[in-house]
């Protein structure tokens, strides 16, 4: 049984008991792992809310399973009592790892096979427990420490997990390791690898805080891991194919001062959904970065470079109906300088900006914006919130940046600032009108009902000392205005570099 149990809902919650200390660095390892998970997954989506739990499963079936950290892990006691037994049974249904490698010993293969079975058993249990929950657990690799298999378990919120498109799961490298079906899954793999490396050393867990990995370093490693999936789908060897680094380098190059914009279609030559317009007599290696960047100048919105993963062999277009279940046709879209996207079946799977991969999320969090509206205006009416969210979402797509100011006294402020703005007849903002009014410099002034009163507003305000010299004039002018306002107000700042900030007059 686990040492931690669910609190009794009918009585006052008891003070959590101190976690059982199984090895010297246990508590510090879990704190470091939690901090790393927080930094890594917040960089992808701050709604994921990662939570790390240490689970210990005994090799002796007479001993109880234990939740080592934290003390209030809320895992049911009986669920993991036979996890090791079940894992060893699952070994008989899983393929023997490394079937064709001579560089691993039989003992290493047995340990690997046992680990595969135990992790599968624990994940099977978690999948059952999480069926009705709003979160999902992911079991890490079991590491044997003092007679117990210790697993670093990661818990993430289910809703944001399901918000992003992914490829088909349950595909594997030739050595049996699972391929990542999404950037999120690749990030989980990298996080788990850090935990396994730290727990497998002579002093388990010590290295994770002695030599901490930066989250950006892990994100880049996750991006590289994820690009192995389309590489293998094209029949390439992921160990030698460097698609992630190649796309980053090509996107960073300019041609006669211009940034690279265009699309590269990745598929085996002769794919039924690709039509060649003209072929190159000598295909250009993808690693000949400047040559590929030059070829990119010939692309148009419907004519793209065609590549087989190692070289560009033609210019052409996609034709016919592509069966997305095949997962053998991918697109690399170069959107601006040092920025590109991996796409499949018209879905963006990953975005990379200055070499740092990210998820294809909206540039402002719906939850953050909704909370800001509630905090500033006590606005919770769903229809009004959604109307304002549609306005913000459209404004966030403005390539040259823009500024929205929402205030309860929008009409009075429009009149006060009439000499430094363009007054318009009050109109409820729609996505189309938003696109029009945010295309010029200056702020757009609207009220919490979504009515716009003036555009191109030059904001005023007193310096508050909260400015940020690293940010532009748009951000700092919004901050000065918000800090000086006598009325509840909120600003949404869309910067040219893609950042979206929500600034409120009410502090959390």
Q: Where are the domains of the chain?
A: 26-213, 243-358, 366-504
What pLDDT is stored for residue 143 in this prediction? Answer: 93
Confidence of residue 70 (pLDDT cuts 50, 70, 90): confident
User: What token pair was written down for 65?
Assistant: 């399973």
**Cβ contacts of 202 within 8 Å, gap of 6 or more:** none
Pairing of strands 356-358, 422-428: unpaired
Confidence of residue 222 (pLDDT cuts 50, 70, 90): very high
For 345: left if phi > 0, alpha if psi spans -120 to 50, otherwise beta; the answer is: left
What pLDDT is stored for residue 150 in this prediction? Answer: 93
Written as one string, the DSSP assignment of 369-389 is HHHHHHHHH----HHHHHHHH
Residue 436 Cα distances to 45, 391, 441, angstroms: 30, 11, 11
Q: Examine the pLDDT at 17 and tell me if it is beyond 60.
A: no
- C-alpha span between 137 and 73 (Å, rounded): 12
Q: What average pLDDT does the segment 338-365 reach?
A: 88
72-81, 145-154, 304-313, 413-422: least confident range: 72-81
Q: Examine the pLDDT at 10 and tell me if it is beyond 60.
A: no
Please write down the HEC assignment for all residues of 473-500: HHHHHHHHHHHHCCCCEEEEEECCCCCE
Q: What average pLDDT does the segment 383-409 reach?
A: 90
Alpha carbon dihedral 280, 336, 256, 266, in 10-degree steps, equals -10
User: What token pair was written down for 459?
Assistant: 């904001």
Q: Examine the pLDDT at 186 and tell me if it is beyond 90.
A: yes
Pairing of strands 402-407, 443-446: parallel
What pLDDT is stored for residue 183 in this prediction? Answer: 97
- C-alpha span between 208 and 196 (Å, rounded): 10
What pLDDT is stored for residue 500 in this prediction? Answer: 82
505 phi and psi angles, rounded to 5 deg: -80, -10
pLDDT digits (tens, 9 = 90+) for 226-271: 999 999 999 998 888 899 999 999 999 988 777 788 999 999 999 9
The radius of gyration computed from the CA coordinates of the chain, to the nearest angstrom, equals: 27
Q: Examine the pLDDT at 464 and tell me if it is beyond 70.
A: no
- C-alpha span between 252 and 260 (Å, rounded): 8
CATH of 243-358, one of 3.90.245, 2.60.120, 3.40.1700, 3.30.360: 3.40.1700
**CATH superfamily, with its number, for domain 366-504:** DNA integrity scanning protein, DisA, N-terminal domain (3.40.1700.10)
pLDDT digits (tens, 9 = 90+) for 78-90: 788 888 888 888 8
What pLDDT is stored for residue 388 in this prediction? Answer: 94
- Strands (E) in 337-483, as ranges, are 339-344, 347-353, 356-358, 402-407, 422-428, 443-446, 451-457
- C-alpha span between 484 and 464 (Å, rounded): 8
Confidence of residue 1 (pLDDT cuts 50, 70, 90): very low
Q: What average pLDDT does the segment 405-432 reach?
A: 94
More confidently predicted of 471 and 288: 288
What pLDDT is stored for residue 187 in this prediction? Answer: 96
Q: Examine the pLDDT at 470 and tell me if it is beyond 60.
A: no
The distance from CA 162 to its chain's CA centroid, rounded to whole angstroms, is 12
The b/e string for 264-276 (b: 16+ C-beta within 10 A; e otherwise) is bbbbeeebebbee
Q: Examine the pLDDT at 365 and tell me if it is beyond 90.
A: no
More confidently predicted of 396 and 52: 52
Q: Work out the mean pLDDT of the chain and round it to a whole number.
A: 87
Q: Examine the pLDDT at 210 and tell me if it is beyond 60.
A: no
Q: Quick one: DSSP state of residue 440? A: S
What pLDDT is stored for residue 11 in this prediction? Answer: 43
**Cβ contacts of 476 within 8 Å, gap of 6 or more:** 467, 468
**Cβ contacts of 199 within 8 Å, gap of 6 or more:** 29, 143, 145, 150, 152, 205
pLDDT digits (tens, 9 = 90+) for 31-61: 999 999 999 999 898 889 999 999 999 988 7
Can you state the percent helix, strand and coil of the chain, rounding each to 5? 35, 25, 40
**Cβ contacts of 437 within 8 Å, gap of 6 or more:** 424, 429, 444, 452, 455
Answer whether 243-358 and 366-504 agree in fold: yes
Helix (H/G/I), strand (E/B), else coil: 294: helix
What pLDDT is stored for residue 35 in this prediction? Answer: 92
């Amino acid at each position: 049984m686990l040492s931690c149990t669910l609190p009794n809902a009918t009585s006052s919650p008891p003070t959590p008991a101190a976690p059982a200390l199984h090895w010297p660095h246990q508590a510090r390892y879990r704190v470091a792992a939690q901090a790393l998970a927080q930094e890594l997954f917040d960089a992808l989506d701050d709604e994921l809310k990662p939570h790390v739990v240490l689970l210990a499963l005994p090799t002796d079936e007479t001993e109880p399973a234990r939740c080592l950290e934290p003390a209030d892990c809320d895992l049911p006691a009986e669920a993991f009592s036979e996890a090791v037994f079940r894992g060893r049974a699952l070994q008989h249904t899983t393929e023997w790892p490394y079937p064709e490698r001579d560089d691993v010993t039989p003992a290493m293969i047995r340990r690997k096979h046992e680990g595969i079975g135990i992790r599968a058993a624990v994940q099977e249990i978690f999948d059952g427990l999480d069926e009705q929950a709003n979160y999902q657990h992911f079991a890490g690799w079991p590491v044997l420490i003092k007679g117990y298999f210790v697993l670093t378990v990661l818990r993430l919120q289910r809703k944001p997990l399901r918000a992003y498109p992914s490829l088909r799961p349950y595909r594997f490298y030739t050595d049996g390791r699972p391929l990542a079906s999404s950037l999120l899954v690749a990030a989980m793999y990298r996080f788990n690898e850090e935990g396994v490396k730290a727990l497998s050393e002579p002093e388990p867990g010590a290295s994770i805080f002695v030599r901490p990995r930066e989250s950006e370093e892990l994100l880049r490693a996750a991006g590289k891991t994820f690009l192995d999936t389309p590489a293998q789908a094209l029949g390439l060897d992921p160990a030698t194919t460097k698609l992630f680094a190649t796309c980053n380098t090509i996107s960073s190059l300019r041609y006669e001062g211009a940034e690279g914009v265009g699309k590269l279609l990745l598929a085996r030559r002769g794919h039924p959904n690709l039509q060649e317009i003209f072929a190159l007599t000598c295909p250009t290696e993808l690693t000949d970065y400047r040559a590929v960047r030059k070829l990119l100048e010939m692309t148009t919105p419907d004519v793209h470079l065609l590549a087989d993963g190692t070289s560009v062999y033609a210019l052409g277009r996609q034709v016919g109906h592509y069966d997305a279940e095949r997962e053998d046709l991918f697109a690399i879209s170069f959107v601006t300088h040092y920025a590109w996207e991996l796409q499949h079946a018209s879905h963006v799977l990953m975005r990379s900006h200055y070499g740092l991969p990210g998820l294809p999320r909206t540039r402002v969090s719906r939850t953050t914006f909704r909370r800001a509206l509630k905090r500033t205006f006590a606005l919770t009416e769903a229809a009004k919130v959604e109307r304002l969210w549609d306005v913000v979402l459209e404004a966030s797509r403005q390539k040259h940046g823009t500024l929205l100011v929402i205030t309860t006294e929008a009409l009075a402020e429009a009149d006060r600032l009439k000499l430094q703005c363009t007054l318009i007849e009050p109109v409820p903002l729609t996505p189309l009108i938003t696109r029009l009014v945010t295309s010029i410099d200056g702020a757009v002034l609207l009220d919490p009902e979504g009515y716009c009163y003036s555009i191109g507003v030059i904001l005023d305000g007193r310096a508050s000392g909260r400015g940020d010299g690293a940010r532009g004039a748009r951000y700092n002018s919004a901050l000065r205005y918000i800090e000086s306002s006598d009325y509840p107000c909120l600003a949404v700042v869309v910067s040219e570099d893609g950042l979206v900030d929500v600034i409120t007059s009410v502090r959390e």
